[in-house]
Structure 1
Amino acid sequence: MNRLVIMTVGKTHSGKTTFAKALEKELHNSVVIDQDNHAEFLHDYYQTLLPKQGPNVIKYAITRTIVDYTVNETNCHIIRCNSNRNRKSRLNQLAYYHEKGFTSILVTFEIPTHVLEERIAKNNRSKNVLRVASTFEEVLTRQENETNKGDVLVPIEGEADYLFVIKKPDDIQSVIGKIVNLSQRVGV
Structure 2
Amino acid sequence: MNRLIIMTVGLTHSGKTTFAKALEKELPNSVVIDQDIHAEFLHTYYESLLPKEGSNIIKYALTQTIVNYAVNDTSCHLILCNANRNLKARLKLLDHFRNNGFTSILVYFDLPESVLNERIVKSQRSTAILRTASTFEEVLSRQQEETNNSDVIEPREGEAEHLFVIKRPDEIQSIIQKIVQIV
TM-score higher than 0.5: yes
Matches of 1:21 and 1:123 in 2, distance apart?
Answer: 17
* Structure 1, unaligned runs of 5 or more: 184-188
Residue deviations 1:121-176, cap 9 Å, x none? Answer: 00110001111111000000011111142100000000011000001111100000
Offset at 1:2?
Answer: 1.2
TM-score (norm 1): 0.96
Matches of 1:146 and 1:59 in 2, distance apart?
Answer: 21
Which residue in the other structure is 1:80 paired with? 80
Could you say what secondary structure the match of 1:25 adopts?
helix
Residue deviations 1:59-115, cap 9 Å, x none? Answer: 000000000000000000000010000000000000100000000000000010111
Which residue in the other structure is 1:186 paired with? none
Is residue 45 from structure 1 mapped to residue 45 from structure 2 by the alignment? Answer: yes
CA contact (8 A) 1:31 1:77 kept: yes
Residue deviations 1:33-77, cap 9 Å, x none? Answer: 000000000000000000000000000000000000000000000
Which residue in the other structure is 1:62 paired with? 62
Tell me how many residue pairs correspond in the alignment. Answer: 183
CA contact (8 A) 1:148 1:154 kept: no
CA contact (8 A) 1:87 1:153 kept: yes
* Structure 2, unaligned runs of 5 or more: none
Matches of 1:101 and 1:56 in 2, distance apart?
Answer: 29
C-alpha RMSD of matched pairs (Å): 0.6
Could you say what secondary structure the match of 1:125 adopts?
coil
